[in-house]
Amino acid sequence: MKLDDALARTIYERAALCRAFEEESFRQVQKGNIKFPVYLSAGQEYAPATVSAWLERRGLAERQIFIQHRGHSTYLAFGGDLDKLVLELLGDERGCAFGMGGSASIQSVEAGIYGHDGLMGSHGPIAVGMCYANRKPTLCFTGDAAAEEDYFLAAIGWASTKGLPILFVVEDNNLSILTEKKVRRNWEMDKVARGMEMAAFDLEDDPEQILARIDGALERPMLLNVRTHRLFWHAGAGIESTDIFDRHKAFGARVGADWAAGVNERSRKTVEEAWARNLRLCAK
């Protein structure tokens, strides 16, 4: 699929909402309003934003999505309710996981999003099992470290063997907490998947690159290893370095700087209002 101007703007709008949410969540952690570990996905918005926009352009409404523990952006990009996500991070029973999932186990039954159970990579075999049972188009988002788990690798093999309509998206930020891939392994996920006879590609989180490779996904098993960049700490509110590439800033030039600035401001206001509204609700 080619990246036209309308699609580029849709992707940017979704990424902007995700970025605004993560930046405000960062501030809420610092204020002490979030009481448990929070896994922020700032810097990793463009994989879910692009895939969700591609899916919408295709008109594929019936799908099921399994997300990883760092899943705020995936939840929002695929239509998860903003207020319910805020309430979940506040530990409120009206949250998207009834206040019991926290940051790592968010879900939306209405949007077809299934939450992570906390065991790294376990959603891989769960996603494959559900896809095998109902044959619905399935997306499974994971991190590069979770994808190393033996049961996740076995799930990829089963999906390939059975020709399931599943797309694995590895959000590869090169880090397992703080340990880089070069310390952990000497192989890449796309090569492993191709060794199992699955279509697989290694690419940057540039929407043009993703769209150039994704056609055919959900008709056959496929894996995209999307290289991305985590801007904040593994958990909590902190910044390890200010010298990290930011796709959101770079893609702003593609859609027009003035237009992008307006989108970012509207997204910021939307998110700030959601936090203020739900903080008041929880204070009653």
Distance (Å, whole) CA 24 – CA 76: 14
Domain boundaries 5-283, corresponding CATH code: 3.40.50.970
Mean pLDDT of the chain: 96
Average pLDDT over residues 233-241: 84
For the chain, domain boundaries: 5-283
pLDDT(240) > 90? no
- Residue-level pLDDT at 65: 98
Render pLDDT for 189-217 as a digit per residue (tens, 0 to 9). Answer: 999 999 999 999 999 999 999 999 999 99
- Best CA proximity match to 83, nearest among 252, 284, 276, 226: 276
pLDDT(61) > 80? no
Distance (Å, whole) CA 273 – CA 278: 8
Task: Yes or no: say if 22 and 52 are a contact pair by the CB < 8 Å rule.
Answer: no
pLDDT(73) > 90? yes
- Best CA proximity match to 38, nearest among 82, 6, 85: 85
Render pLDDT for 139-195 as a digit per residue (tens, 0 to 9). Answer: 999 999 999 999 999 999 999 999 999 999 999 999 998 899 999 999 999 999 999
What's the count of helices (H) and strands (E) in the chain, helices before strands? 11, 8
Render pLDDT for 86-103 as a digit per residue (tens, 0 to 9). Answer: 999 999 999 999 999 999
pLDDT(135) > 80? yes
Distance (Å, whole) CA 63 – CA 229: 27
- Residue-level pLDDT at 284: 79
Q: What is the pTM of this model?
A: 0.96
